[in-house]
Amino acid sequence: MTPFGARLRSLRAKRGMTLKAMAAEMQVSSAYLSSLEHGRRGKPGIGLVHQVCEIFGLIWDEAEELAALARLSNPKITVNTAGLSPEQTALANRLAQDIRKLPPSTVATLHAILDSSVPPPKARLRRAAGKG
């Protein structure tokens, strides 16, 4: 299951909405939504994320969180280690081979290490409408 899929399932459960009802409202198949929830489909596009936000009335922080989860929900990732050190390449390969075996506590620790050592992305500047 992907982070987006888990959140989507949680939102549906909280609202008591069936997969079939949500699919009908979004005009997609219930099989597609089920595949998204279970991580068998690629990460959702921004249009689908907006539809989910509209259906569940998500705005501001909640909508931004859902979009961030969608960006982190590619179930089939590729890591290009060209130009990286041998240690970095070895780490990427070990993670690919062993990630299924890691206990949740280790995964949480790895997230914490990455959160503390990788600088946050720069805030995007938004221009006022009509100003170039």
Segment 13-72, tens digit of pLDDT = 999 999 999 999 999 999 999 999 998 988 899 999 999 999 999 999 999 999 999 999
Could you say which DSSP state residue 28 is in?
S
Which range of residues forms the domain containing residue 45?
A: 3-71
Asked if residue 123 is part of any domain, the answer here is no
| CATH at 31 | 1.10.260.40
pLDDT band with cut points at 50, 70 and 90 for residue 122? low
Q: Look-up: residue for tokens 């060209």?
A: 82
Q: Look up residue 79 and give its two tokens.
A: 């890591």
Same domain assignment for residues 36 and 96: no
Q: What's this model's pTM, rounded to 2 decimal places?
A: 0.75
pLDDT of residue 85: 96
Asked if residue 11 is part of any domain, the answer here is yes
Could you say which DSSP state residue 29 is in?
-
What are the backbone angles phi and psi of residue 80, rounded to the nearest 5°? Answer: -90, 110
Identify residue 46 by its one-letter amino acid code.
I
Q: Look-up: residue for tokens 């609202």?
A: 15
Domains in the chain: how many in total? Answer: 2
Asked if residue 132 is part of any domain, the answer here is no
Asked if residue 22 is part of any domain, the answer here is yes
Asked if residue 111 is part of any domain, the answer here is yes
Question: Residue 65's closest CA among 111, 56, 131, 83?
Answer: 56
